[in-house]
Structure 1
Amino acid sequence: MMKANDYQKQALRTLNPSLSKSEVLINGVMGLCGESGEVIDLVKKHLAQGHELNREKLAKELGDVAWYLAETAYALDYDLESIFQMNLDKLAQRYPDGFEKEKSMNRNDETDYVK
């Protein structure tokens, strides 16, 4: 099984080496938005237009999302496993006993982020 940091290391082999860190950041964030749009478009066509859900194409688009996530994390000097752990820590704080609708509707996002 591949580890997240191993994926990030291998994926970054295809990063454009001529980009500055700030250019890597903007490319990563724009790529995340673009690829996420492709993911939702496939689901929209399935749910609203009667297309068969192409699970393999959707999975490949999620792979593109993963690539841009790896790039964006790199631009911020984070590895993916740290990003994933930070997210799990935030979710554990927000929902210590698992998801609760009430907590979801009345949460304070200020407590989610250290400034």
Structure 2
Amino acid sequence: MPAPRWIANANRVGLNRITKFIAPWAPGWAVVIHRGRKSGRIFRTPLWAFRREGGYVIALTYGPESDWVRNVLAAGGCRLEARRRCYEVDTPRVYRDESASDMPPFIRFMLRTVIKAPDFLSVEVVRELC
């Protein structure tokens, strides 16, 4: 079971305001830039993301029903800022991996035992933008 929605809401108001400045350059972090399905607004969501062959794997700590995940799936992709680079990504795919095998050991431990979030989003890098 992923982290409860009330934590997601609290993070949106508090922690995300800080991590959105750290996530574009910190190892293991990224910012997903996506457009709202209904509002059309641009959103910047900081999260755990790791480079893997041809793309990125993103931990869905609040589950696959999160608005940002639904926005990315509906659009068929998004922009991603990671390690001071910007990418256009597409082919979003949600999958479940109870062992969190694509994650580094500490993140794997957090996802499996503390947060209990077995869902992930993989995206493929189309091109580097900056």
Using the size of structure 2 for normalisation, the TM-score is: 0.25
- Which has the higher Rg, Structure 1 or Structure 2? 1
Bigger RCO (CA 8 Å, 6+ sep): 1
Q: Which has the higher strand share?
A: 2
TM, length-normalised to structure 1: 0.27
Higher helix share goes to which structure?
1
